[in-house]
Amino acid sequence: MSDFDYDLIVIGAGPGGYVAAIRAAQLGLKTACVESRETLGGTCLNVGCIPSKALLHASELFEEAHSGALAKFGVNIAGAALDLGQMQANKAGVVKELTGGIEYLFKKNKVTWLKGKGRFTGAHTLDVDGQKVTGKNIVIATGSSVTPLPGVTIDQQVVVDSTGALAFDKVPAHLVVIGGGVIGLELGSVWKRLGANVTVIEFLDQLLPGMDGEVRKEAAKIFKKQGMALKLGTKVTGVAVKGKKAMVTVEPAAGGAAEQIEADAVLVAIGRRPNTEGLGLDVIGLETNARGQIEIDHEFGTKVPGVWAIGDVVPGPMLAHKAEDEGVAVAENIAGLTGLVNHDVIPGVVYTHPEFASVGLTEEQAKERGEIKVGKFPFMANSRAKANRDTEGFVKVIADAKSDRVLGVHIISTLAGTMIAQAAQAMEFGATSEDIAYTCHAHPTHAEALKEAAMGVQGKPIHI
């Protein structure tokens, strides 16, 4: 009989944790997963990826129907009206189905859900709401929470974080978004489409930090054109709530005169930080780094033998698919197999209209490493995009000048999020731009723009 209750206990049932638990159980390990939420699926399924995409889709449909944008296709819709209650109920239904789906998968794979908050009392021992459980291995997959802005109190009524902004029961007349990153632009887009005036306040001089410079410039043009007010290079110094209104005080990031902006709602979206508080890391001698993350080795092991960590709580992009892949890999490593994640090829997508997707190096990063060639193709010249009246954006392929190996791909398009998978797969297989250029792509599709951008690396696109 084993000395431990479980071969593996995972703390946290987000995309990192639930995937690690399922994979471990598939590999024959006796597995439990500790989760304190009422439902499984973590931030992503409950208050992140899934509800935000449900609202992005629904709000896009509303805007198309309501704005008259379909008239050019000969589709006239009179009297389209918003039923926000139904939109929110639909979102809640999607979340319920998917979180329930994880519960089903746990049962199917015989993963035990230990309901409650987990805390280390030893390297192999956890306290889960007063109950002691032991595991030969423990994976920390506790995820992240919103980074607070000093001096700004989130009340989830007037001043909200992403969770509050997913749950408004009426459209705010003026929504001020603090932070021009992924959450600010996705949720800002939702409420803009549903009728709010949206002002985005971003500390840096461009939106979407970390993305390719050209893409970031284009993003500013696109969101301005959609009617968002952008205050770049601006910092928020305070938010005062009076009744149902907020007064947001801002000033230039570089210093200068302060200005006040009145808002009906304020969304704080200035990043997320790892969840390690109350986990008892000190008990097992595990520290966090300057960014609050748990440091790991190549196999996702921490410096404490038998304790592993994955997902938002460790370094790297805070993305669900990165957490999931790490979940598979850590379970395989614990089971004695070789689990790897190629962190150089993690796609990122902003699900606005159009979408912004990227994988690999930005042009700026690639230039720092050596000589490069860049091919670019606009959707203006893509026949399917033309037919759909959907010509905003471009594809950019960055390749090593000598080896022609693809180093990065950046796409702005309504279908960018779907298209980027091809680029990621090509890069995972070590493709050159020529490999993509000589791959037959179906016509007419948006994907042909990727082929043409790859042809452009050698200076020879056909359709431009």
> Hey, how many other C-beta atoms are within 10 angstroms of the C-beta on 291?
8
Q: Which stretch binds ligand NAI (CB under 6 A): 6-14, 101-109, 198-206, 434-442?
A: 198-206
| DSSP per residue, 140-206 | E---EEEPPPTT----SSSEE-HHHHT--SS--SEEEEE--SHHHHHHHHHHHHTT-EEEEE-SSSS
What single string gives the DSSP state of each residue in 66-108? HHSGGGGGT----S----HHHHHHHHHHHHHHHHHHHHHHHHH
The nearest distance, CB 182 to ligand FAD, in angstroms, is 7
User: In terms of CB distance, is 318 or 437 closer to ligand FAD?
Assistant: 318
**Is 443 one of the annotated active-site residues of the chain?**
yes
CB of 377 to ligand FAD, least distance (A): 26
Closest chain position to ligand FAD (CB): 143
Helices and strands: H and E segment counts in the chain: 13, 22
314 binds ligand NAI (CB under 6 A): no
- Contact by Cβ (8 Å): 265, 243: no
Q: Which of 119, 171, 111, 165 is nearest to 142 (CA)?
A: 119
Contact flag: residue 51 with ligand NAI (CB under 6 A)? no
> Between residues 202 and 324, which has the closer beta carbon with respect to ligand NAI?
202
Residue 44 interacting entry, from ligand FAD, ligand NAI, none, C-beta within 5 to 8 Å by type? ligand FAD
Q: Given the rule CB under 6 A, which residues bind ligand FAD?
A: 11-17, 34-37, 42-44, 48-49, 52, 117-118, 141-144, 162, 183, 275, 279, 311-312, 318-321, 323, 351
- For residues 202 and 326, which CB has a smaller minimum distance to ligand NAI in the complex? 202
Residue in the structure block whose two tokens are 């889960």: 128
Least distance from ligand FAD to the Cβ atom of residue 402, Å: 33
Going by the DSSP 8-state scheme, the letter that residue 233 receives in this structure is: S
349-388 residues near ligand NAI, rule: CB under 6 A: 349-351
- Token match 């509050």: residue? 164
State the Cα–Cα distance between residues 300 and 324, nearest whole angstrom. 13
Helix, strand or coil, per DSSP, at residue 5: coil
- Indicate which of ligand NAI, ligand FAD, none lies near residue 118 (CB less than 5 to 8 Å, by partner kind): ligand FAD
The whole-angstrom separation of Cα 463 and Cα 405 is 23
Among 178, 248, 265, 331, binds ligand NAI (CB under 6 A): 178
Report the residue number, 47 or 385, with the smaller CB distance to ligand FAD: 47
* Residue 14 touches which member of ligand NAI, ligand FAD, none, C-beta under 5-8 Å by kind: ligand FAD
* Contact code string over 112-141 relative to ligand NAI, x by CB under 6 A: ------------------------------
Q: 159 pairs with which residues across the strands? A: 266
Report d(CA 229, CA 211) in Å as an integer: 21
- Binding residue (CB under 6 A) for ligand NAI from 9, 13, 50, 183: 183
Closest distance to ligand FAD from the beta carbon of 37 (Å): 4
| Strand pairing class (229-231; 197-201) | parallel
Q: How far is the CB of 439 from ligand NAI (least distance, A)?
A: 27
Could you tell me the smallest distance in angstroms from the CB atom of residue 33 to ligand FAD? 9
Give the list of residues 6+ apart from residue 256 with CB closer than 8 angstroms, or none. Answer: none
Catalytic residue numbers read: 443
> In the complex, which residues of this chain contact ligand NAI (CB under 6 A)?
149, 178-184, 186, 201-204, 209, 235-236, 269-272, 317-319, 349-351
